[in-house]
Structure 1
Amino acid sequence: MCGITGFWNPSRTNERELRFTLDRMLDVLDHRGPDDRGSRFYLDQGVALGHTRLSIVGLDHGHQPIASSDGDYAVTVNGELYGYKRERTQLACQKLDCSGKSDSAITLPMYLRDGLSFVEKLRGEFAIVLYDNVKQRLVLIRDRFGVKPLYYAVNDNGIVYGSEVKSILKHPDVPAKLCPKAALHQMMQVMVPGTTAFEGVLALKPDHLLIASLRDGRIEVETQRWWDFSFPTSHDPNPDPAEYVQGVQDRLIDAVATRLEADVPVGCYLSGGIDSCSILGLATTLQQSPVKAFTIAFDNAEYDESHIAKLMAKRTGAEQELLLLTEKELYGPAFERATWHAERTFYNTLAVAKWHMSRRVRACNYKAVITGEGSDELFGGYPFFKRDWLGRDDEGGLFAGAILAEDDLKHPAWQDLCGFTPSWIQPWMMTLDRVRPLLSAEMRDLLNEYDPVAAVVAAIDPDQVRGRHRLDISQYTWSKTMLEGQILTWGGDRMDMANSMEARPAFLDHHVAEYAVTIPPEVRIRDGIEKWVLREAMVNVLPRELYERKKFAFMAPPAHTDPEKRSAVQEMIDHWLTEDRVHAVGFFDRGVLDAFIDAAWKETDGTIARRNDIVMNHTLQLHMLHGQYVEGLPLPAVD
């Protein structure tokens, strides 16, 4: 796990200028790689490659960038490549040089042997940047689900890239400016795949690679998709559930065993959910020594599931580290720091909780944990998946207003693409309706003709949707938008790496995923039970209380749930939503915004109150992002 950044500016070849610029870009990625730093330049071409390293595999042998013996090729890697020892041995048998002992060392000889198709043979979570001086091209590659981030900006002077947007904004050719359309998307929670909060900065989509080539003195780029999370157009009409249960069990055991390999201790994140409990249960039997488990607890019983986590830790003999979080930890300086690391807004302070947890992990001298992200996407775990296939079965409980809509909504673009409007987008459509009246006159005029919901639809490949089962469509569209844009970003990599800690999501192993899409819907969700196939695969691993439990809302308690949290949020509002800053950002009408906040604190309907909390979180963070990145305000210290 590391940070990578760099640029290709063909017209700029001054060594001092290149080094100074790259150093500034690397400085803001120190948290991603505090153990080592490296750079490589191709001065005649204006190419700079930079790397900050968090050493987990090959502790003393992983310096990057890695270059070929003749210097014509160089690569930087962020992430983990599993099975590298076997691949390294195969390369050696083919008389291909792969002398490095880190997992990243296999990438360059594989590229020299296979060309760009080498990426299809990689197993793991990764972002790779490779420079080929012979073909005069720079290649950016992102893993199948987007576990590892990679961003870029292209302009008349060339291309700039980085693991985080903040490094790109340190390049003199990329000014920090919030994008109005992206701001609207953040307010409704759903980003357009491939976009960021900042004008001119794009995200390389998961399962894509980008090729930047020099043509007639200018950099031209093209992107290619090299994999996809593809559901079949039909499923087995008479499935044998036992076959799929065994198939899931076999592949998940292998995925967890693979992710336990490291040259440092590997722990587990442990909530009270089926996913993380399954991971811990398997890791316990796979490891010789007790597993260290890290659990978040909240001060509100409705949102806290640490009692189940404690039960699982006791069952497995895990050494559990329990972190209780209150409004003192979830708001104030930690909230601001989490926003800076996320580089976008988030609807719930679970992101702040994850920041605190990764901090505790590092304080316990752990650099890596295995996590449960991706299970819901693969096995139909979210309540909106079940609703899309089987219809409504309740009013949503704590999900209502946050991830389930209380009304049934339709949008013509979704109806055209899918034949229905997925339930996962509907609460965010309702949030959008709540946000639009808050906009300033200038923003209303600017965005009047812009339909953010249709923009999200336009980014989804219709060939992967049409002709599929409703459950498949729901899972696919969520995975192509919210999995990468939310769960793996502010809910994953960005909060983990903020404290130099690597998360390894075993469920998103592509061997597991490619099998999961073949499982018939009635085996994924059986007799109304979500993730039935996973439950059965883990029946002897999970406590009975958890095996029989419905999906729980893993969110931090929203601000409206107690006076202390409301007071903490109001304190941030008083600091960040000043008249001058609201005017400078220009996104909201100050008077309407003040009236909304006043009314929000008086709301008694829980569903509406949750939606109001979401709007306030996003509003605060848009102004924080402006202050942090546009104004350049320093980050506060966190006790």
Structure 2
Amino acid sequence: MCGITGFWNPSRTNERDLRFALDPMLDVLDHRGPDERGSRFYREEGVALGHTRLSIIGLDCGHQPIETKDGDYAVTVNGELYGYKKVRTQLACEQYVCDGKSDSAITLPMYLKDGLGFVEKLRGEFAIVLYDRREKRLILVRDRFGIKPLYYHASDSGLVWGSEVKSILKHPDVTPRLCPKATVHQMMQVMVPGSTAFENVHAIKPGHMLIATLRGDRLEIQTRRWWDMDFPQSHETGVDPAEYVQGVQDRLIDAVATRLEADVPVGCYLSGGIDSCSILGLATQLQQSPIKAFTIAFDSDEYDESNIARRMAERTGAEQELLRLTEKELYGPAFERATWHAERTFYNTLAVAKWHMSRRVRACNYKAVITGEGSDELFGGYAFFKRDWLGRDKGDAILAGAILAEEDQVHSAWEDLCGFTPSWIQPWMMVLDRLKPLLTSAMQDMLNTYDPVAEVAAAIDPSMVRGRNRLDISQYTWSKTMLEGQILTWGGDRMDMANSMEARPAFLDHHVAEYATTIPPDVRIRNGVEKWVLREAMVNVLPRELYERKKFAFMAPPAHTDPVKRAAVQEMIDHWLTKDRVAAVGLFNYEKLQTFVADAWNETDNTIARRNDILINHTLQIHMLHGQYVEGLPLPAVD
């Protein structure tokens, strides 16, 4: 797990210029790789490859960039490639020699053997940048689900890339500017796949590669999809569900066992949900020594799952590290720092809680944990999947305003694409409606011709949803948008790697995922029970109360639930949403924003109050991002 960055500027061929441009880009990624730093320059071509290393596998033999002996090929890798020992042995038998014994060392010989098709044989979570001097070609690759980030900026002068946007913004050819359209998307929580908060900075989409080839003195750039979450046109009927239960169990055991492979201790994140509890239960059986489990506890019974997590830790004999968080930890300097790491806004302070948790993991001398992300996406765990499949559930009140819409919303672009408007996007459509009156007249004019909800729909490949089951469509569209843009970024990689800590989501192993798409909808959600097939696969691993428990939305308590939290948020509002600063950012009408905040603290309807919390969090962070990245304000210290 590391940070990768670099650029290809064909006209920049002075080695001093190359070094001076790359060093600041590496400096800002130190948190991703504090153990070692490396670079490789191809001066005549204007190529610079940079790498900051977090050593987890091959502690003494994993220096990057990795290159062939003739120097014609070089690669930088961020992430983990599983099964690398077997692959390395197979390559050796075919006379393709790996330079070193780290997992990343298999990439170059695999490329030399299979060309661009090598990525389809990789197992793990990864972002890869590979330079082929013979073909004058650069390849940027992102893993199947986008677990590992990779961004780029393309212009007439060349290509710049990085594991995080902040490294790209340090390049001398890139000017940091917030994108007004992306601001609206952040406020409504749903980014357009492939976009970022910043103008002219893009994300490599999950399961995609970018190929840059030198033609004369200019780069020709194309993107290619190499994997997708492909649900079948129809599902088999009349099959014994026990077959799928066993299939999930077998593949999940293998995925967890694979992710315990490391040259450092590997722990587990543990909430009170069946996903992380399943991971811990399996890891306990697979590991000879006791597992270390890390749990977040909140100061609100309505949002706290730590009691169930504690019982699971006791059941497995795990050593539990419990981190209790209050408003002191969730707001103020930690909130600002989490925003800087996220590089986009987040609707709930769960991101700040995750930042604190990764900090605690590192304080306990752990560099890697296995996590439960992806289970809901694969097995139909979220309430909005269940709603799309079975209809409304009266027991969803706690989710209204943030996870579910209290009133059905319809949008023509989604009706055309899916045949219905997925429930997962409906609450964010209502947030958008609440946002519009707060914007400047110029921003409102922009929205007269730009439809954010339609833009998200337009980014979905129609061929992957047409003719599919409603549950499949709901899971697919969520996974192509919110899984990558939210859960795996500010809910995952960004907050974990902020403290040099690697997360390994076992459910997103592609062997598990590809099998999950074949499971009939009525086995995923059976008799109204979400993730039924996973529950059955883990029935002897989970405590009975957890096996029978309904899905709980893991989030931090919103500010409106506690006057102390409201006061902490108001303190940030007083600092960040001043009249001068709001005018400088230029997105919001200051007077209307002031009225909205004042009214929000007096709201008595919990659903509307949650929506107000979301808008306040996003608005604060838009101004923080402008201050941090456009104005260059320093980050505060965190105790």
Tell me the CA shift for residue 443 of structure 1.
1.3
Alignment of 1:463-542 (within 5 A): 463-542=463-542
Question: In 2, distance between residues paired with 1:238 and 1:407?
Answer: 36
Structure 2 partner of 1:244:
244
Structure 2 partner of 1:543:
543
Question: In 1, distance between residues paired with 2:444 and 2:218?
Answer: 37
* Alignment check: 8 A CA contact 1:239 1:520 kept: no
Structure 2 partner of 1:138:
138
Structure 2 partner of 1:213:
213
Structure 1 partner of 2:157:
157
Q: For 1:252, what is the secondary structure of its paired residue?
A: helix
Structure 2 partner of 1:448:
448
Deviations 1:538-575 (A, max 9, x none): 00000001000000020000000011100000000000
Question: In 2, distance between residues paired with 1:397 and 1:437?
Answer: 26
Question: In 1, distance between residues paired with 2:151 and 2:54?
Answer: 19
The answer to whether residue 41 in structure 2 is matched with residue 44 in structure 1 is no
Deviations 1:439-469 (A, max 9, x none): 0112112332100000000000000000000
Question: In 2, distance between residues paired with 1:98 and 1:224?
Answer: 27
The answer to whether residue 268 in structure 2 is matched with residue 268 in structure 1 is yes
Q: For 1:19, what is the secondary structure of its paired residue?
A: helix
Q: For 2:178, what is the secondary structure of its paired residue?
A: coil
Q: For 2:20, what is the secondary structure of its paired residue?
A: helix
The answer to whether residue 375 in structure 2 is matched with residue 375 in structure 1 is yes
Normalised to the residue count of structure 1, the TM-score between the two structures is 1.00
Question: In 1, distance between residues paired with 2:40 and 2:448?
Answer: 46
Structure 1 partner of 2:128:
128
Tell me the CA shift for residue 216 of structure 1.
2.3
The answer to whether residue 330 in structure 2 is matched with residue 344 in structure 1 is no
Tell me the CA shift for residue 339 of structure 1.
0.2
Question: In 2, distance between residues paired with 1:327 and 1:543?
Answer: 31
What stretches of structure 1 of length at least 5 have no aligned partner? none
2:324 maps to a residue whose letter is L
* Alignment check: 8 A CA contact 2:137 2:214 kept: yes
Structure 2 partner of 1:431:
431
Structure 1 partner of 2:414:
414
Structure 1 partner of 2:400:
400
Question: In 2, distance between residues paired with 1:508 and 1:72?
Answer: 34
Question: In 2, distance between residues paired with 1:442 and 1:624?
Answer: 21
Deviations 1:593-621 (A, max 9, x none): 00000000000000000000000000000
Q: For 2:44, what is the secondary structure of its paired residue?
A: coil
Question: In 1, distance between residues paired with 2:199 and 2:240?
Answer: 51
Question: In 1, distance between residues paired with 2:173 and 2:613?
Answer: 37
* Alignment check: 8 A CA contact 1:294 1:361 kept: yes
Structure 2 partner of 1:7:
7
Question: How many aligned positions are there?
Answer: 639
1:433 maps to a residue whose letter is D
* Alignment check: 8 A CA contact 1:339 1:624 kept: yes
1:25 maps to a residue whose letter is M
Q: For 1:474, what is the secondary structure of its paired residue?
A: helix
* Alignment check: 8 A CA contact 1:395 1:406 kept: no
Deviations 1:319-346 (A, max 9, x none): 0000000000000000000000000000
Q: For 1:604, what is the secondary structure of its paired residue?
A: coil
Tell me the CA shift for residue 398 of structure 1.
1.6
Q: For 1:234, what is the secondary structure of its paired residue?
A: coil
**Alpha carbons of 1:160 and 1:99: their partners in 2 closer, same or farther (altered >3 Å)?**
closer
Question: In 1, distance between residues paired with 2:22 and 2:325?
Answer: 38
Question: In 1, distance between residues paired with 2:22 and 2:291?
Answer: 39
Alignment of 1:66-465 (within 5 A): 66-394=66-394, 396-465=396-465
What stretches of structure 2 of length at least 5 have no aligned partner? none
Tell me the CA shift for residue 219 of structure 1.
1.1
* Alignment check: 8 A CA contact 2:435 2:615 kept: yes
Provide the alpha-carbon RMSD of the alignment: 0.5
* Alignment check: 8 A CA contact 1:350 1:556 kept: yes
Tell me the CA shift for residue 97 of structure 1.
1.3
Structure 2 partner of 1:611:
611
Deviations 1:381-431 (A, max 9, x none): 000001001000215222110010000010000000000000000000000
Q: For 1:422, what is the secondary structure of its paired residue?
A: coil
1:106 maps to a residue whose letter is I
2:149 maps to a residue whose letter is P
2:268 maps to a residue whose letter is C
Deviations 1:227-250 (A, max 9, x none): 000000000111210000000000
Question: In 1, distance between residues paired with 2:238 and 2:465?
Answer: 23
Question: In 1, distance between residues paired with 2:156 and 2:573?
Answer: 40
* Alignment check: 8 A CA contact 2:176 2:199 kept: yes
Question: In 1, distance between residues paired with 2:139 and 2:595?
Answer: 50
Question: In 2, distance between residues paired with 1:386 and 1:447?
Answer: 32
Question: In 2, distance between residues paired with 1:45 and 1:499?
Answer: 35
1:388 maps to a residue whose letter is D
Q: For 2:276, what is the secondary structure of its paired residue?
A: helix
Deviations 1:72-128 (A, max 9, x none): 000000000000000000011111111411000000000000000000000000000
Question: In 2, distance between residues paired with 1:99 and 1:420?
Answer: 52
1:634 maps to a residue whose letter is P
* Alignment check: 8 A CA contact 2:405 2:430 kept: yes
2:49 maps to a residue whose letter is L
